Amino acid sequence: MRKSNFILRIASYFGLILVVLIAVSCSKDDAATDETIPPVVTPSFSGPTYADNYSSIASWNTRSQWNLANVHDPSVEKSGDYYYMYQTDASYGNAHDGHGHFFYRRSKDLVNWEFMGSTMTTAPAWVKDSLNNKRARMNPALPPIANPNYGYWAPCVRKVGNKYRMYYSIVVDNPIVGTDFNTSWSERAFIGLAETDDLASNVWTDKGMVVCSEPDGVKPYSYTGTRNWEDAYFKYNAIDPSFIETPEGDQYLIYGSWHSGIVAVKLDPTTGKPFQLKTLADYGTRIATRNASSRWQASEGAEIIYNPDTQYYYLFMAYDELSVAYNTRVARSRNITGPYYGINGANVTNGADCWPMLTHPYSFNNHTGWVGISHCAIFQNPDTKQWYYSSQGRLPEGVPGIAVSNAIMMGHVRAIKWTDDGWPVIDPERYAAVPETTITDASFIGEWEQITMNYQYQTIQKSVRIYLTADKKVSGAITGTWSYDSTNKTLTVNGVKCKVSDAWDWESSTRKVTVTYSGLTADGRPVWGKKVN
């Protein structure tokens, strides 16, 4: 088990360098004072310096230096002075192997993270018992699996009342029959529950099974010939749990991955488990599907939040395969169980493609770019009420000088802004606690990189160079006009309304403070901009 309590701390010093406004005196014959551009206040700030390529410190022996290295499928919860981040068992070179499961780290500022170790030593005994009890009751009965192969995936941690709950996934990676995955679907997955009074203690009491992957008898568990992905054996796949409590106090578990869609099941608030699991209907109501006619579909990693400012529930989902193509979609509903609609009014619960898209493989200049950006945690600072998006980002495949570069998984934390019509947008740059300044029209004049993210499977969307000029024109690779609403911190670029932020330029050869914008086209494609000069 990981026991390290050390970390490389990167100091953050805040201050402001004020740009002095030089007064222009008027001659005695002048009728009016010359116009001056308002000053741009530039913060002096020592932001994070840790490298995106962490391969040199990826081993277990250098875990005290990881910060946000080796993060996958994060879940974030605040307790006391710290944010705690929990994750899937994944690391570059499998550095975590043999050291426990469901690893976690903590941070006071969402920038500098201290790796803490694991929360579970071995799979609870109930997993094997439940698996083999179900196999014995199949028709025909199947023999027990003596030594199951386990995977530990995607925990979700939430404070519920005075307790903290961890809903976790343990998958059994054995064929249902035989030893060949070419002739048998894999065994079922389980979602379990553990509780603690205090995240700092890391003392968890396991509460057993919540739900599992359950067949509905429509498809067989074995087959001959080429695997038909449409013939998924289980109705719903019991991984990727997420928990939400509604304003009325109802509690729901959200789960599902690739098998038939995303499911919401109501929980007994006393136990944190479904009221009963007697029929397939007790395993939940489908609230989203990518294709209503297919049992196999590329969506998973769902997370639901309720935003009291808009009075909508927002369903965030990961689309496509995780290594490169992963991208994040969001739909919303007035009701926790849907129906959920996209920005175009399409019914995602009934199988419509979900828009808007919030993340996609991308690249600003001077950087390899990031891919595999999804399976997100959406969380809030309880004091400021600021929302955040966290996920892993992977380096692209085939980066020169990095062995298996796509296995580099860096934890990303980004601020969320909300558009005027109530949709979330994700900041183009990762969060670095850059101090806020007064952003004015003058802040935008200069050279920018902009990315308009078209959906293209496994294809990085690259930035183009544009210029915003004092006469409110846009030139360069894109032409048009711009305007700024300082009251709402909204920059309109060629008709796209974007939320602006003070930001940290992670891609610059010497990282520095900059300004960014993030918006959505009318059909829900992200538009990201970063000032470079």
Report d(CA 492, CA 129) in Å as an integer.
Answer: 59
For 166-185, what is each residue's pLDDT tens digit? 999 999 999 999 999 989 99
Position 16 pLDDT exceeds 50: no
Question: Residue 28: is its pLDDT beyond 70?
Answer: no
pLDDT of residue 27: 34
pLDDT at residue 144 in the model = 98
Mean pLDDT over 445-464 rounds to 98
User: Nearest to residue 71, comparing CAs of 82, 81, 79, 63?
Assistant: 63
Q: Is 280 a residue whose pLDDT tops 60?
A: yes
- How much is the pLDDT for 14? 29
Domains belonging to the chain, first-starting first, are: 123-294 (no CATH), 441-531 (2.40.128.10)
Q: Is the confidence at residue 32, as pLDDT, over 60?
A: no
Q: What is the mean pLDDT of residues 325-335?
A: 98
Interval 133-156 mean pLDDT: 97
Check residue 15 and give its pLDDT: 33
Report CA-CA distances (Å) from 337 to 193, 453, 457: 22, 30, 29
Phi/psi of residue 65, nearest 5 degrees:
-100, 5
d(Cα 22, Cα 133) in Å, to the nearest integer? 81
39 confidence band (pLDDT: 50, 70, 90)? low
Residues ≥6 apart with Cβ < 8 Å to 208? 124, 126, 192, 193
* pLDDT for 12 beyond 80: no
Q: What average pLDDT does range 262-290 have in this prediction?
A: 97
Q: Give the residue-averaged pLDDT of 487-509.
A: 97
**Which pLDDT band, with edges at 50, 70 and 90, does 230 fall under?**
confident
Q: Is the pLDDT of residue 23 over 60?
A: no
3-state secondary structure of 134: helix
pLDDT at 229: 76
335-387 pLDDT, tens digit each: 999 999 999 999 999 999 999 999 999 999 999 999 999 999 999 999 999 99
CB atoms within 10 A of CB 33: 10
